[in-house]
Structure 1
């Protein structure tokens, strides 16, 4: 399996590209600010065709380039319905015009949007089976994408779980209780060797976070 990624934009959001092999269809996870250029190079170098853009949640640093990528390559954007409004208002609660003033961008929905409204659903995309776990807490519509087709199980955790940290809950729609519940019921139940690919920072494993993440001490 081909997996690569890079931190995009001012907020260094990790954008990931996943495909069964070179020359195949690919999944794009969280294409953030200024992600289009690096993405295009990766796709061209590996002869990949985007089959879908997957958003772990709707915050601006994760969805900035989603519409451009999806509409350029003619593929759908997958997002939880709770966070779908952020496709046009990524600083939700402050209004789309603030995003335009603060970031110089005005956002619009991609031509194709698919809502991830079934917790635990398995979807077949680009020859890869993706399990979608609804993990509210950072936002109401946060999700984790799990893939078990490769040599190691992977969880694209967005801003729910990081190496030695967890997502913030002080923004609109955030809930500390919901976040910890999501981590306990959806992530800590996974095998210790599951690779966690977070929205920011380095990768980790479920076992490493279970043992040493200070925010998860005492949880099981």
Structure 2
């Protein structure tokens, strides 16, 4: 498998291109701010043809370039329905401080074609099989994408659910700390230790490394489950 990754924008969100190899079809994951040109350069360099854009969640630092990338290549965007509103209202999921930093104005619109993700569904795209895990907590519609590699390895694109040594914040609009703990317990800690983690920010890691040293994960699988909220 070919994986190309690079940080984008003011908040340095990681964008990834995944393909079965050079000169093949690919998917683009999380095209954030200022991602259009780096993506185009990577497509040229590796002779790749995009067939879809996948979003781990709707925050603008991960989705700001989704429309020019999708509409410019005539491909759909995939996002969980709980985060879809942020594609046309990017300030919906940010803090007051972030909104103020951008002058209270940040314009986005939906791509021409948007498809909605569901938990447990496998997407067969660009010769890859990507399993969708709904992991609410950072946002209501956060997801991770799991894939196997042709070399026998496995990886997870964890978005802002899991970082190397940390997890995504849950104090933003739509965040839910109890839901995050459930996602970490049931969707992250159940993964094999050799799974490579490609996070939404910062360096890569492995599930084993995070299980052993991430302070937000250590002992989490031994704690009682958080009580579920009533309807």
2-side partners of 1:60 and 1:5: how far apart? Answer: 18
Q: What are the within-5 Å matches in structure 2 for residues 104-143 of structure 1? A: 105-116=106-117, 118-143=118-143
Q: Flag structure 2 segments of 5+ consecutive residues without an equivalent.
A: 222-231
- The CA RMSD over aligned residues, in Å, is 1.6
- Work out whether 1:176 is the aligned partner of 2:177: yes
Task: Tell me, yes or no, if structure 1 residue 200 matches structure 2 residue 214.
Answer: no
- Cα deviation, 1:174-196, whole Å, max 9, x if unaligned, reads 01110111011011101100000
Number of residue pairs matched by the alignment: 216
Report what 2:229 is aligned to. Answer: none
Per-residue CA deviations over 1:160-218 (Å, capped at 9, x if unaligned) read: 00001011000111011101110110111011000000000000000000000011121
**Runs of 4 or more off by more than 4 Å in structure 1?**
98-101
Q: Is the 8 A contact 1:144 1:157 kept in 2?
A: yes
> What is the TM-score normalised by the length of structure 2?
0.90
Q: Which stretches in structure 1 are left out of the alignment for 5+ residues?
A: none
> Which residue of structure 2 lines up, in the alignment, with residue 153 of structure 1?
154
Q: After alignment, is 133-142 or 145-154 more displaced?
A: 145-154
Residue 210 of structure 1 aligns with which residue? 211
Distance 1:93 1:218 in 2: 30
Q: Is the 8 A contact 2:56 2:158 kept in 1?
A: yes
Q: TM-score, normalised by structure 1?
A: 0.94
Kindly tell me: are residues 11 and 103 of structure 1, through their superposed partners in 2, closer, same or farther at Cα, counting changes over 3 Å?
Answer: farther
Secondary structure of the equivalent of 1:92? Answer: helix
Assess if the C-alpha contact under 8 Å between 1:89 and 1:99 holds in 2. no
Contact kept in structure 2, 1:91 and 1:99, CA below 8 Å:
no
Contact 2:29–2:53 (8 Å) recurs in 1: yes
Residues 90, 99 of structure 1: 8 Å contact kept: no
**Are 1:57 and 2:69 matched, yes or no?**
no
